[in-house]
Amino acid sequence: MRIKIINPNTTWSMTEKIGACARAVAHAGTEIVAVSPAMGPASIESHYDEALAVPGLLQEIAAGERDGIDGYVIACFGDPGLKAARELARGPVVGIAEAAMHLASMIGSRFSVVTTLGRTMGQAWHLAEIYGMERFCANVRACELPVLELEEPGSNARERIVEECRRALEEDGADCIVLGCAGMTDLCEHIEQVLGVPVIDGVAAGTKLIESLVTLKLRTSKHGELAKPLPKPMIGALEGFTLTR
């Protein structure tokens, strides 16, 4: 099977890290294709960033459909463009926040999300609510750490994230941790070893969920809301997004 992991930002060092983490957990027969869009923000830390990341993300979904991709993972914790991607794709599509929260609810009674900037906490709470995970979510915490600092050599990002995770366990009543950024994917094992509790990385969780869905031959339903979008003219910079039957 072929799974496409789409990092909706355009920072390729992060995309390569995400791809490596997905390959580390994927089945030996699974091909992981990790990409960033050709256009979009360098990082996604606001509603504005997220909105501008979606067109490039959807271009990658459309390209994956032409290339025969079996399933997709959207590797950004805001799960941008998830429903639009499901409309375009024949196979399953999961977001990493969706995947991580659901798996966390199966291995603990309460989880805390540890993310980057405080301004993104509201979106994480919103996703917990719409996924039905709010009752499992003890708290959403931020390290006040810009996403791109995760890519800087010599940064103390790892230590700051570990300490915020430690506070989540001590103060929130959480018994497991959800990492709230795809850029943290390589820290999962280290944090688990330091703190001795399950730590869920959405990239790994999303990869294994998509493998399971594809193996079970479960595709996105095209009956109702997630049917292919209706064809209509697109103009200006969006002309290339025009769909045909």
Q: What is the per-residue pLDDT across 63-95, written as a single tens digit (0 to 9) for each?
A: 999 999 999 999 999 999 999 999 999 999 999
- 30 and 85 in a single domain? The answer is yes
- 103 and 187 in a single domain? The answer is yes
- 169 and 230 in a single domain? The answer is no
- 73 and 87 in a single domain? The answer is yes
What pLDDT score was predicted for residue 244? 78
In sequence order, the 6+-apart residues with CB closer than 8 A to the CB of 33 are 2, 3, 4, 5, 64, 69
Tell me the one-letter amino acid at 114: V
**Nearest Cα to Cα of residue 123 among 165, 85, 95:** 95
| Predicted confidence (pLDDT) at residue 172 exceeds the cutoff of 80 | yes
What pLDDT score was predicted for residue 69? 98
Burial 41-59 (b: 16+ CB within 10 A, else e): bebbbeeebbebbbbbbbb
The rounded distance, in Å, linking the Cα atoms of 156 and 159 is 6
What pLDDT score was predicted for residue 154? 81
- 79 and 160 in a single domain? The answer is no
What pLDDT score was predicted for residue 8? 98
- 105 and 197 in a single domain? The answer is yes
- 215 and 173 in a single domain? The answer is no
| Predicted confidence (pLDDT) at residue 245 exceeds the cutoff of 80 | no
> In the predicted model, what is the mean pLDDT of residues 19-38?
97
- For 187-229, what is each residue's pLDDT tens digit? 999 999 999 999 999 999 999 999 999 999 999 999 999 999 9
- 104 and 156 in a single domain? The answer is yes
- Count up the domains in the chain and report the number: 2
- 6 and 29 in a single domain? The answer is yes
What pLDDT score was predicted for residue 14? 95
| Predicted confidence (pLDDT) at residue 22 exceeds the cutoff of 80 | yes
Tell me the one-letter amino acid at 240: G
- 46 and 137 in a single domain? The answer is no
Whether the Cβ atoms of residue 84 and residue 93 lie closer than 8 Å to each other: no
- 164 and 225 in a single domain? The answer is no
Residue 179, domain extent? 97-201
Task: List the CATH number of the domain containing 213.
Answer: 3.40.50.12500
Tokens of 196: 């001795």
- 68 and 158 in a single domain? The answer is no
Structure letter (DSSP) for residue 185: G
> In the predicted model, what is the mean pLDDT of residues 111-127?
97
- For 125-168, what is each residue's pLDDT tens digit? 999 999 999 999 999 999 999 999 988 888 899 999 999 999 99
Query: How high is the mean pLDDT of the chain?
Result: 96
> In the predicted model, what is the mean pLDDT of residues 167-178?
97
What pLDDT score was predicted for residue 155? 85
> In the predicted model, what is the mean pLDDT of residues 13-29?
97
